[in-house]
Amino acid sequence: MVLKLVGLAGSYNRPSKTFALVEHIASVAAERYGFDVRLHDLTDVGPSLGQAQRQGDLDEAAARVLTDVVEADFLIVGSPTYKGSYPGLFKHFIDLIDPEQLRAKPILITATGGGDRHALMVEHQLRPLFGFFMAHTLPTAVYASDRDFADYRVVSESLQQRIGFAVDELAAFFPVRELAAAE
Ligand SMILES: Cc1cc2nc3c(=O)[nH]c(=O)nc-3n(C[C@H](O)[C@H](O)[C@H](O)COP(=O)(O)O)c2cc1C
């Protein structure tokens, strides 16, 4: 059975460093574990998000992204850092997800920022956000700053090493999920 990995980049910029980071991590994970990968950004979600107060208010494109996210076996969630936290529009998308829809979901959390000053935003903002959902955020979170990229590609060796640690940690979820699927 091929497991589904979904990457969500909370940026609407194209090109986007956050999307590039999520895409890079997803390709490392897919090469290691043979996942079926789908990637989305907030531009895929589109303009209906801003007006939506509940999932039913989303248009088809946005609803498809949300369904992909909640039905994923594994998630990579990436956010740009805005004013020391995640962007409001990204939070609004997450706000539309029902609490039980991410329960026990393995999530690799990641963020980008202009510099290193807000590197702990993954620990102080993203981890508690997914803690609310009782999701399994992986122990290693990945933060990348401008100098880790060249032309929207991950080039830093230390970042790639950290990505390797995080991807290793996904393996812990295989036995449990395969048992659940067999029930
Ligand atoms: C409105 C705004 C606020 C930002 N605030 C921060 C910040 O507080 N700390 C930081 O390190 N970078 C900050 N940045 C820089 C972005 O986090 C950084 O360029 C990020 O990699 C952009 O991701 P993207 O290319 O995926 O859109 C900010 C950028 C914008 C546009």
Structural domain includes residue 177:
no
Range of the domain at 77: 4-172
Confidence of residue 160 (pLDDT cuts 50, 70, 90): very high
If you measure from the C-alpha of residue 173 to the centroid of ligand 1, how many angstroms do you get, rounded to a whole number? 32
> pLDDT digit string (tens) for 38-96?
999 999 999 999 999 999 999 999 999 999 999 999 999 999 999 999 999 999 999 99
Task: Tell me the mean pLDDT in the region 123-130.
Answer: 98
Structural domain includes residue 183:
no
The two beta strands, 74-80 and 149-150, are unpaired
Q: What is the pLDDT of residue 179?
A: 52
Instruction: Tally the domains of the chain.
Output: 1
Q: At what angle do helices 157-170 and 17-33 cross, to 10 degrees?
A: 50
In angstroms, the CA 43 to CA 62 distance is 9
The two beta strands, 74-80 and 106-113, are parallel
Report pTM.
0.96
Task: Tell me the mean pLDDT in the region 25-37.
Answer: 97
Q: Which of 81, 146, 152 to mutate to test the pocket of ligand 1 (most atoms within 8 A of CB)?
A: 81
Output the six-digit token pair for 122: 């993954």
Structural domain includes residue 180:
no
Structural domain includes residue 179:
no
Q: What is the pLDDT of residue 1?
A: 81
Q: Which of 19, 82, 110 to mutate to test the pocket of ligand 1 (most atoms within 8 A of CB)?
A: 82
Only one residue has tokens 């993954």, namely 122
Q: What is the pLDDT of residue 181?
A: 59
- The CATH number of whichever domain residue 77 belongs to comes to 3.40.50.360
> pLDDT digit string (tens) for 141-156?
999 999 999 999 999 9
Task: Tell me the mean pLDDT in the region 163-176.
Answer: 90
In angstroms, the CA 175 to CA 19 distance is 29
If you measure from the C-alpha of residue 11 to the centroid of ligand 1, how many angstroms do you get, rounded to a whole number? 10
CA distances from 9 to 12, 77, 143, 175, 182 (A): 8, 6, 13, 27, 31
Structural domain includes residue 178:
no
